[in-house]
Structure 1
Amino acid sequence: MDTSSTLKVLIVGEDESDSASLKHSLEAYGYDLFSIPKRVVALENALSHYAPDLVVITLDIETSEDSFTIGNFLHKFGALPFIYLSNQANDALLFKAQKTNPHGYHVQPFDPISLHTSMECAFHCFKKTETYNATMQQLRSEYEQLRKRAFNVQANSSKIKLCDCYQFKLKNYSLFYQNDEIKMTKKERALITLLIAQLGTIVDFEQIIRFVWGGNYQTHNDVRTLVWRLNQKVPIPLIQNAMGLGYYIE
C-alpha cells in the first residue's frame, strides 16, 4: 500500500482559495487533507481533533509572522513534521523560516509530484529520527540501570576488584591493572561497563551491539574485533569467550 494513502495532512493558511487549490493538487496522492487558518488556537484544536501526520504551512510576506508563530509552536511541540510553502522566492523569508527548524521548504509555483515527494521524505525522515531518539532514550535508561547494578556489586566501595590484579573504578568507569590505568576508547569503556555490570553472566552479541553501538547495524565480527582490541591492551586477558554465545567477565 502507498504510505501516502494513510497520511493525514493539515494545511495551515489564510487564503481559502489557495488552501483549496493545494488540497486539489494533493488529493491524487491519497492524502486525508484538512485546512485551518493561521491561528495557534485553531492549530491546537486541529492537532487534537484530526491528529495529523504532517503540517503544510503557507507562507507570504503579509502573514509571515503568523506562519512563523505556527512553525515555532510545532517545533516546540516536536511531535510531527512540518514544511513551508512560500508564494515567492525570498531569502529574508527563507532565513526566518530556517530559525523555526522546518522539515522542508517549497516555493510556488510548485510541481505537485515534487511537493508530494518532499512531504513523504519529511514524514519518513521524521519518523526515523523519532524512532532513533526513542531508542537512544531507552539505551540511556538501560545504561543508568547498569550503572546502578555495577555500583551495587560493592555498595560500600568506589571500586570493583576483578581477579587479583584488576580493579574498575565506578567514579569515572576506568579500568586499572594494579595501579596503571588502561586507556580505553568510548566503545571499549561501554563494553567493559556492560560486562562488569553483569559479572559472571554471559552477555550475548545482540545485547552488546545494542548497548555499545545503539542499534543493530553491527555484526558479531564487530563485537569480536572490539573484544580482541580491548584484550590486547591488558597484560592478562580479562574478557572471556562463551563458546560463540557472547562474552563475560568472571
Structure 2
Amino acid sequence: MDRPSRSATVEHYKAAMLLSGAGDALGYKNQLWEYNESGPAIHQELQELGGLKNIKVELPDWPVSDDTVLHLATAEGLATGKTGEELLHEVAARYVEGMKDMEGRKPGPSSILGVSQLKPGEEGGYRVPYNPEGTGCGAAMRSMCIGLKYLDLRGISNGVGPAIWPSAYGPAERDEAYKSFSLSGWAGRSGHDAPMIALDAMLGAGPDWEELMSRAAFHGGDSDSTAVIAACCWGLLYGTKGVPEGNYCNLEYRDRLERCAEQLYALSQ
C-alpha cells in the first residue's frame, strides 16, 4: 500500500479542496443520488454509466451542492487572513452571499434558518440563536472535522490497528451499518454520523479513490455530505494520484477551490 506523504504540500491542500468538491458533486448527482436511499441501486446506476472512471464531473449534469458552496464560504473567509471577530463577520458575510447561490443545490433547513439570522457587520451579528432542531451535518461538512467516537467498532481504539471489517461489507451491508450510526435512519444527515461514515470510508479505502467514492459517495444516505468530508481529507493525504482526471478537471468552481487552497497553504506556513 502506498503511504501518504508525511508533509502536506500546496498540492495536497489543493487536492483536499478540489476533491472535496468532486466528492460532493459525485455523491449529489444533481439531487438524484443524495436522495436515493439504496446503495445497491446507486452502484447499479454507476455501472450503467460505465463506472467512476467514465464520469466527467462538469456542468450541467454534475453540479456541486450547497455543501461545497458553503465550504467555500468558510475557506475563502479564512483565506483573507483575518482573525477574531473580524474573521467571524467575514465568514458570516460570505455565508449570506453563498446562500444566494442555492438554486438546485438543496440546502438544509437549519442552514437556511441560521444564515437568515446572520447580521454581518453588526455587533454580534455572526451569532445565531441555539436551534434544538439543528441536528444536521452542515457544521461537519463545512469544517471537515472527523468524528472519532466509534473506534472500538473497528478495533483501532488503541491507535494501532489494523481496522477490523465484517466478512461481508458491500453496498447493502454498508447501508445498514451507516444507518446504525445515524440519529434518524438517514445515514450522514446529522453532524455526529457524517464524520463517522467519512472516517469509516477512509479507513476502508486507503489510497484507492474509487473505493473511497464507493464507500463515501455511493450509499443510500446523505451521500454528498459524507463524500465532501471524506474526499477533502483523502486529498490532503494522497493528492490527486489515482483520481480519474475527468472526475475533477472541469469541476464547477475549480478555480475558486484551488485558489483558496493556495491562500490557505500560504497562511499555514
TM-score range, shorter chain: under 0.3
TM-score norm. by structure 2 comes to: 0.23
Relative contact order, CA 8 A, sep 6+: which one is greater? Answer: 2
TM-score norm. by structure 1 comes to: 0.24
Higher strand fraction (1 or 2): 1
Q: Which of the pair has more CA radius of gyration? A: 1
